[in-house]
Every structure is written in structure tokens, then in C-alpha cells.
A = this chain, B = another copy of it.
Amino acid sequence: MAALDLFGRRGLLRILWELRGEAPLTFRALAAAAELPPGTLNARLKELKAAGLMATEGAYGLTPLGRDLLAALEPLVLWSEDWARAYPPTDS
């Protein structure tokens, strides 16, 4: 399951998530949204480009494949809402 390994890089899922809107983001906006330092963001961006998920026409947005992935992530987001209810983010 190579995809599971790809997702196991810090911030990668988060980047996808921050790109869920329609409008693409700038490098700096994405860094701020995903709370990643530029070096890490750039590394992830390269991986996402190589995986065919990231479009970089001027600004950063998702390819159709990336949009599919985002859709496939939807149940996981729903689960995480339930989970956050059961395990509220009070402490560390």
C-alpha cells in the first residue's frame, strides 16, 4: 500500500485539506494555512507534483486526480469529527 506511505509524511494530508477550496493558494498562503515551514512545504509540493496531485499553474491547486483524493478523504473527515467529540483536544 504505497499510498499509505506517501500520506505518512508530515503535513501532506494537511496540505491537501487546505487546498479543498476552489481557489488555488500562493506558496506563502499555503505555508501559513498548513503551518509548515517553507522547506518542508517545498518538499511536500515536489512529492505531490511527482504523484500527479498538484497543479502549479501560477498558484497551487489540485489536479483532477487530487480532487478525487480529496473526495475519497471525505469519510475520514467525518470520522475525525466523531473522534474529536470522543477525544476532545483539551490537553496534549
Contact = CB atoms under 8 A, between A and B. Distances in A.
Contact of A14 (B8, B13, B68, B78): B8
Interface stretch (A21-29, A54-62, A84-92): A84-92
A13 to B, nearest CB: 4
Specify the main secondary structure of chain A where it touches its partner.
helix
Interface in A1-27: 1-5, 7-14, 17
A40 B78 CA distance: 28
A69 B83 contact: yes
Given A74-B75, A75-B75, 14 more contacts: A1-B77, A1-B80, A2-B80, A2-B89, A3-B80, A4-B80, A8-B10, A51-B83, A65-B83, A68-B79, A68-B82, A69-B76, A72-B75, A73-B75
